[in-house]
Amino acid sequence: MPQSQQNRRPAAQAVPLHRKVTVLGSTGSVGTNTLDLLASDTQKFRISALTGGRNALLLAEQARKFRPGFVALADESEYRTLKDSLAGTGIACGAGDQAVLEAAAMEADVTVAAISGFAGLKPALTAIEQGNILALANKESLVCAGAYMTVAAQKSGCDILPVDSEHNAIFQVLDNRSPESVKRLILTASGGPFLRKSRAEIADVTPAEAVAHPNWSMGAKISVDSATMMNKALEVIEAHYLFGLQQERIDVLMHPQSIVHSMVEYIDGSILAQLGASDMRTPIAYALAWPERMPTTGDFLDLTKPQNLEFLPPDELRFPALALVREVLKAGGAMPTVFNSANEVAVAAFLDGAIGFTAIESLVAAAVEDAATRLPAPENLEDIFAVDQEIRALTSERIARMPKTRL
């Protein structure tokens, strides 16, 4: 089991009772949920740094409330708005990718990686190098550079704690047991808003319909990923790196109620699960307080109400991403990055109304098929960034050649 899965730090490296926390992506869905929890115990938590992408006004509002040492916005064109909004507060601020990396390098006991997409990779790696705790929501970074992040964490002594509710559930349930005792991991999947629709029925869905997740309130990109089941496919890769198991031992099970957040089946036939409300504050709180627990401001599950828990095998014809990810993991090398980068470009195009919903899957499949025979395995991180750039360019070209949609 990787170093990140040792559920107790040695006493010499014990996590302090009062914690300095940095939130990368504080203006997003995971970020604002994190700040909600941090506000609930200002004695225990102090904010070291906050970062946003473009939302200067929200970032400034958060900075005024939490008084971090530094705030950074990725979008340099919004720097003036951020600076003016913080005038007179004495809070240092910066803008641009370098400023976000500076924030990620600030001294913090826990850094929450909640930037969306590949853009979160460098900041996550920078935080890992500090050798403390990385509470990882940004699954795309692990998908693209899992081996590098794991090795970097081992080198620096960083604990990578999963915030994704499924992986957080497995992390809680594994609780330091040896990998030999695990038969398989079972990732549950709600199936998103189109679970019961046929492929013909999803051909014309709009971005507004795709982001309307029945159980979870999340950012736009992950909501679309949930609708295509790319999210679950990315999570299979994430689980592979986090828990060190081959893809054959990572199963997906449809569970439309999102109450059982995931399970571990042991070799003796026992299945252990973590249950809870569909509220990201529970897994975030677990990562913030680990190895202890903290009270949350979120909803609790009421087991006295009828729950009707359903479990169904996934339909890989209906959701081709689930079959494709198996090929991607078997091939290894550059393929997880190809899979992720094509998806990021395709989802952005769908949200812009440039392509239809099912084109997301076709574009990802085309990128994987084309790259499989062509791209060598990356030898270093620079190679991974080069693969990302190339696949973004190729997918954008493919989109430009597609007939315009009616959206």
Ligand X SMILES: NC(=O)c1ccc[n+]([C@@H]2O[C@H](COP(=O)([O-])OP(=O)(O)OC[C@H]3O[C@@H](n4cnc5c(N)ncnc54)[C@H](OP(=O)(O)O)[C@@H]3O)[C@@H](O)[C@H]2O)c1
Contacting residues toward ligand X, per CB under 6 A: 25, 27-31, 52-55, 74, 100, 114-116, 119, 137-140, 164, 216, 218-219, 221-222, 280
* Closer to ligand X by Cβ: residue 298 or 320: 298
Beta carbon of residue 311, minimum distance to ligand X (angstroms, whole number): 21
Beta carbon of residue 137, minimum distance to ligand X (angstroms, whole number): 3
Burial (0-12, 13-18, 19+ Cβ within 10 Å), 376: exposed
- Check if the beta carbon of residue 87 is closer than 8 Å to that of residue 23: no
* Closer to ligand X by Cβ: residue 150 or 168: 168
Beta carbon of residue 121, minimum distance to ligand X (angstroms, whole number): 10
Beta carbon of residue 312, minimum distance to ligand X (angstroms, whole number): 22
Q: Torsion angle, CA of 369/374/379/384, rounded to 10 degrees?
A: -50
Beta carbon of residue 162, minimum distance to ligand X (angstroms, whole number): 9
Q: Which two tokens stand for residue 232?
A: 């679950």
Beta carbon of residue 246, minimum distance to ligand X (angstroms, whole number): 23
Query: What region does 192 belong to: left with phi over 0, alpha with psi -120 to 50, or beta?
Result: left
Beta carbon of residue 169, minimum distance to ligand X (angstroms, whole number): 12
* Closer to ligand X by Cβ: residue 9 or 257: 257
Beta carbon of residue 52, minimum distance to ligand X (angstroms, whole number): 3
Beta carbon of residue 401, minimum distance to ligand X (angstroms, whole number): 26
* Closer to ligand X by Cβ: residue 150 or 343: 343
**Burial readout 106-126 (b: 16 or more C-beta within 10 A, e: otherwise):** bebbbbbbbbbbbbbbbbbbb
* Closer to ligand X by Cβ: residue 278 or 375: 278
Cis peptide before 291 (omega within 30 of 0): yes
* Closer to ligand X by Cβ: residue 78 or 361: 78
- Check if the beta carbon of residue 142 is closer than 8 Å to that of residue 136: yes
* Closer to ligand X by Cβ: residue 15 or 119: 119
Beta bridge partners of 162: 136
Q: Which two tokens stand for residue 189?
A: 């999947």
* Rg of the Cα atoms in the chain: 20
* Closer to ligand X by Cβ: residue 120 or 375: 120
* Closer to ligand X by Cβ: residue 85 or 375: 85
Between the alpha carbon of residue 275 and those of residues 185, 232, 398, the distances in Å are 15, 18, 42
Query: 275: which DSSP letter?
Result: E
* Closer to ligand X by Cβ: residue 375 or 395: 395
Closest residue to ligand X, based on beta-carbon distance: 28
Element (H, E) at 133: strand 133-136
Q: Which two tokens stand for residue 6?
A: 């040792």
Beta bridge partners of 70: 49, 92
Beta carbon of residue 100, minimum distance to ligand X (angstroms, whole number): 5
Q: Tell me the C-alpha distance between 391 and 312, whole Å.
A: 34
Q: Tell me the C-alpha distance between 371 and 353, whole Å.
A: 26
Q: Which of 144, 143, 141 is nearest to 128 (CA)?
A: 141
**Burial readout 283-302 (b: 16 or more C-beta within 10 A, e: otherwise):** bbbbbbbbeeeeebebeeee
